[in-house]
Amino acid sequence: MSGGTPVGVPEVVHAAALCAGAAAWLVVVARSQRLRRARVLFVAGLTDAALRKGWEHGVSRCRVWLRGRREWLCLPVALVLAALGESVLPVIAGLVAVPLVRRWLRGRELRKDLERRADGVVDLCGAVVGELRAGQEPGRALLVAVQSTGAMGAAGAGVSAAARFGGDVPTALGQAACEPGLEGLAGVAACWRVAADGGAGLAAGLDRLEGALRAERCRREELRAQLAGAWSTVVVLALLPVLGIGLGSALGADPLRVLLHSTAGLACLVMGGLLEAAGIVWAARIVRKAEAA
């Protein structure tokens, strides 16, 4: 190798050490990157699962809490309106609306409970007829039907006791029929009394009673379906002022400031609220009378 500079041992050692260090550094960096990537993926997946589980748990707890307190949703709506209108009047209106909405919700739940009880009486008649045709004795058939359907709730204790210990079953049924929603038990008591006194077939009488109660339920459901349009009209009329305020806000008129921060606006708001309430009550009474008729 003429004309070249000879390479000594120290240079070779230094180069080899540099290459070894670079290789080691690359291995360590690659490994750390793989660990970091795996850790990120694992932790991200774990975080997503934990967040999803926490979200579902929070939603379920909110549903449980709101199940009997739905009227308190008026307050968040009132707070939003108060923030938009920069006034405390929507908060006061929300506080006033809470007991009114609670009363309306309880009335609706009461009506649903009465309908469930009435449907339970129909199921009770069908269960008793089935047990009688299967060869059970009347008392045993009634006891099994009461326990299987749970139609009478707390009122079924007296009927079950009378059927189990040979008591006066028609009287117990008549007393249970005094409970709201269980009026159909009066027909069961009459069928039981006629079958005990005259020897008529109890299964045949209860079968006819079940058919009559089912026909009444079908008429009630048909009437409710026919009145669904009227109720929809009531709801639309009730929401028209809200839509008007939203349309005014979209056009830049700022109706909330006019209604909440001026004398004429407050007067219009009070008169409009009273007329709105009167219209809703009037329309609801019309529909209720048609449903009752």
Q: What would the pLDDT profile of 100-115 be if each residue is shown by its tens digit?
A: 888 888 888 888 888 8
Query: What six digits make up the tokens of 12?
Result: 């070779």
Question: Is residue 41 scored above 70 in pLDDT?
Answer: no
DSSP letters, 42-79, are: HHHHHHHHHHHHHHHHHHHHHHHHHHS-GGGGHHHHHH
Please tell me whether residues 120 and 196 are part of one structural domain: yes
pLDDT tens-digit readout, 3-39: 444 444 445 445 555 555 555 555 555 555 555 555 5
Query: What six digits make up the tokens of 160?
Result: 């079950």
Query: What six digits make up the tokens of 8?
Result: 């000594």
* Final residue of a structural domain among 162, 182, 211: 211
Its sign, for the CA torsion 226, 227, 230, 232, is negative
The residue with greater pLDDT, 103 or 51, is: 103
Q: Look at residue 96 and tell me if it is in a domain.
A: no
In the prediction, which pLDDT does 39 show?
Answer: 52
Mean pLDDT of 123-142: 87
The residue with greater pLDDT, 49 or 105, is: 105
pLDDT tens-digit readout, 185-220: 899 888 888 887 654 588 888 889 989 999 988 988
Question: Is residue 126 scored above 70 in pLDDT?
Answer: yes
Please tell me whether residues 206 and 233 are part of one structural domain: no
Please answer whether residues 91 and 82 qualify as being in contact, where contact means their C-beta atoms are separated by less than 8 angstroms: yes
> What is the average pLDDT value for the chain, to the nearest integer?
78
Question: Which range, 155-159, 183-187, 228-232, 251-255, has the best average confidence (pLDDT)?
Answer: 183-187
In the prediction, which pLDDT does 47 show?
Answer: 54
The residue with greater pLDDT, 55 or 82, is: 82
What's the number of domains the chain is made of?
3
Q: What domain range includes position 200?
A: 112-211
Which residues lie closer than 8 Å to 139 by C-beta, 6 or more apart? 163, 164, 166, 169
Please tell me whether residues 238 and 207 are part of one structural domain: no
pLDDT tens-digit readout, 276-288: 888 888 888 887 7
Mean pLDDT of 46-58: 61
DSSP letters, 119-183, are: HHHHHHHHHHHHHHHTT--HHHHHHHHHHHH--SGGGHHHHHHHHHTT--HHHHHHHHHTSTT-T
In the prediction, which pLDDT does 203 show?
Answer: 86
Alpha-carbon separation of residue 42 from 8, 30, 38, 46, 183 (angstroms):
51, 18, 6, 6, 62
| Out of 112-116, 156-160, 271-275, least confident range | 156-160
How sure is the predictor about 267, in pLDDT bands with cuts at 50, 70 and 90?
very high
Q: Look at residue 99 and tell me if it is in a domain.
A: no
Q: Look at residue 141 and tell me if it is in a domain.
A: yes
Q: Look at residue 123 and tell me if it is in a domain.
A: yes
Please tell me whether residues 179 and 263 are part of one structural domain: no
In the prediction, which pLDDT does 24 show?
Answer: 55
Please tell me whether residues 196 and 126 are part of one structural domain: yes
Task: Compute the distance between CA of residue 147 and CA of residue 123 in angstroms, rounded to an integer.
Answer: 12
Q: Look at residue 60 and tell me if it is in a domain.
A: yes
Please tell me whether residues 152 and 186 are part of one structural domain: yes
